Amino acid sequence: MLSPRYLAFHASIVTLLASLALRAPWEISAIAAALTIVGISDLLQTKRALRRNYPILAHFRFFFESIRPEIRQYFLEDDMVAEPFSRNQRSIVYQRAKKDTDKRPFGTQLDVYAPGYEWINHSIAPAPEQPHDFRIEIGNHPDCPRAQPYSASVFNISAMSFGALSANAILALNGGAKQGGFMHDTGEGSISPYHRQNGGDLVWEIGSGYFGCRNDDGTFSEANFIVNATAPQVKMIELKMSQGAKPGHGGVLPGAKVTIEIAQTRGVPVGRDCISPSSHSAFKTPIEMLQFIDRLRTLSGGKPTGFKLAIGHPWEFFGIVKAMLATGIVPDFIVVDGGEGGTGAAPVEFTDHIGTPLQEALLLVHNTLVGANLRDRIKIGASGKIITAFDIARTLALGADWCNSARGFMFALGCIQSQSCHTDRCPTGVATQDPSRQRALVVPDKIQRVANFHENTMEALAQLIAAAGLTHPSQLRPRHLVRRISHNQVKLASALLPYLEPGELLDPSQLSRLPPVFGHYWPMAQAESFDPFCG
């Protein structure tokens, strides 16, 4: 009996023989011959069992598997399921970037009785809506004549390197930042010509590879740092300890991808593997880390200097805070990167199961600084799936001073969440170095869209906080945020989540009544070592 597995193969042979015998049009014979050759190749090859068992038919499976993300996105995707961003989340960015209407008729699509649903309580006496260019000052040291404080927007572009993003994407992001008056984090790949061209404010992120400020052996170069850090366009210096998408993981950009441009930007040899170590060589302890930050601040001429991290072992961050108390060296800011962050360069285990989510990470950092009487001296930035004005308001209410967004601004550039960032085949020219692909991203148009997205999101934030009776996002507190616990129970974030009082960590008699993470790990943390068991 003829097996259905070989039906397509046998049909192609029969069609070929019949077309030759009957002198059918040559096109039919050619197609049948091609299919017959494919079938024979499938049967003879030894690498894929499916092709040997299902000659010709297996290729249909491979084709539909290759377009599965597109089928799901265009035909099957639920509007509200965030995997990683829902259609509704992406749509609101596209609408605001293009200045289309972002109104939604007929009520919310969210289940307001589902556990986890959140809202901000409004006031019966709303405040007048304020101009929506909300800003905070970072690095203001009245007692330091060399300080160069920076007035930052409360919503900015998160770290994305040239190399991960295309030249055109960097040009458009920085042009949008310039037009909209907000800051653009360079990512750890250093400051490329495309970051400089449009003159938008930059936060220079320095990772463990010290790109843009390294010696030939990969160690930190003071001279190279000064050249970049003192450029007027660079407004702040950010030392990257880890990122939410792949904390504790280094990286390698293969030599084949290290082009002349990337090599010149990063200060590495052309065509050789470009390595980002998993840890820094310039320091080994919390005290040495703060001394390095203070050194960077001095060398930059007093520009606001801080660090970014994803929270892992709590005693390590506690050790950094204890080092602040021991040395008197206080960074100007800390950026908290949530474990829900995204990248095209992380193993799936890191993406899914390494790194503390933003809410818990932000609470730990905020509470520790409050408990150590340092919170009023250090600003906190936060990043992790922040898209809408509510996302910003929620994050500020939980304890941040400003928010960064990476994928939100990628959507503003036209990203369609094809999840092909790591393949160099980005369909919209955002995350690729292929010149033929990135030319699809028309820079002047996308500059305007980036600026529009920021402006319209800020306008929505102004309306939201006015409804709550506030005049600036900095006035948001945990008491303004409400979360549903069950079908018939809700709680204010201030009652649901733990918040420390100023100075509580400095009083040993208070530790026993604090949340266990502080009561257990704060006493064991050391300013002299990231390892609590060392010494």
Helix (H, G, I), strand (E, B), or coil: what is residue 363? Answer: helix
380 and 490 co-located in one domain: yes
Whole-Å CA distances, 365 to 136, 162, 212, 318: 19, 29, 29, 9
User: How would you classify residue 212: left for phi > 0, otherwise alpha for psi between -120 and 50, otherwise beta?
Assistant: left
What is the structure's pLDDT at 184?
A: 98
Structural domain count, the chain: 2
Q: 348 and 429, same structural domain? A: yes
The residue out of 55, 76, 97 marking a domain boundary is 76
- The residues, any chain, with a CB within 8 Å of residue 253's CB and separated by 6 or more, are 163, 262, 273, 274, 276
In the predicted model, is pLDDT for residue 86 greater than 90?
A: no
421 pLDDT band (50/70/90 cuts)?
Answer: confident
CB contact burial 201-223 (16+ within 10 A = b; e otherwise): bbbbbbbbbbbbbbeeebebbee
Q: Tens of pLDDT along 2-49? A: 678 888 888 898 898 998 888 888 889 899 999 999 999 998 988 888
Domain co-membership, 446 together with 320: yes
Least confident of 22-31, 165-174, 205-214: 22-31
Give exposure, 158-190, as e/b (b: 16+ Cβ within 10 Å).
bbbbbbbbbbbbbbbbbbbbbbbbbbbbbbbbb
pTM of the predicted model as reported, rounded to 2 decimal places: 0.88
Number of alpha carbons in the 13 Å side-chain half-sphere of residue 225: 25
Same-domain check for residues 44 and 142: no
Residue where a domain stops, chosen among 30, 61, 76: 76
Three-state secondary structure call for residue 152: strand
The answer to whether the beta carbons of residues 226 and 299 sit under 8 Å apart is: yes
pLDDT tens string 238-275: 999 987 666 666 666 667 677 888 889 988 888 887 77
Is residue 119, in this structure, part of any structural domain at all? Answer: no
Same domain, 141 and 57: no
Rounded to whole angstroms, the Cα distance separating 330 from 422 reads 37
Lowest model confidence (mean pLDDT) among 63-67, 79-83, 84-88, 184-188: 79-83
Residue 83 lies in a domain: no
Domain co-membership, 419 together with 311: yes
Q: What percent of the chain stands above pLDDT 90?
A: 63
The answer as to whether 440 is a domain residue is: yes
Are residues 69 and 140 both part of a single domain?
Answer: no
| Whether residue 181 sits in one domain with residue 46 | no
Same domain? 408 vs 283: yes
CA-to-CA dists, residue 443 to 84, 157, 167, angstroms: 26, 17, 10
Contact 392, 457 (CB under 8 A): yes
What is the average pLDDT score of the chain?
90
Q: Look at residue 101 and tell me if it is in a domain.
A: no
Same-domain status, 342 and 430: yes
Q: CATH number, domain at 208?
A: 3.20.20.70
Q: Which of 27, 53, 76 is the last residue of a domain?
A: 76
pLDDT of residue 501: 95
355 contacts 341 by C-beta, under 8 angstroms: yes
Question: What is the structure's pLDDT at 210?
Answer: 95
Pairing of strands 202-206, 184-185: parallel
Domain annotation covers residue 124: no
* pLDDT of 531 strictly over 60: yes
**Does 528 map to a domain?**
no
457 in the same domain as 308 = yes
- The band of 363, judged by pLDDT with boundaries at 50, 70 and 90, is very high
Q: Looking at the domain assignment, is residue 84 inside a domain?
A: no
Say if residue 33 is in the same domain as residue 175.
no
pLDDT digits (tens, 9 = 90+) for 304-361: 999 999 999 999 999 999 999 999 999 999 999 998 776 666 667 777 778 899 999 9
Q: Write out the residue range of the structural domain in which residue 261 sits.
A: 135-520
Residue 85 in any domain: the answer is: no
β-pair type (155-157, 150-153): unpaired
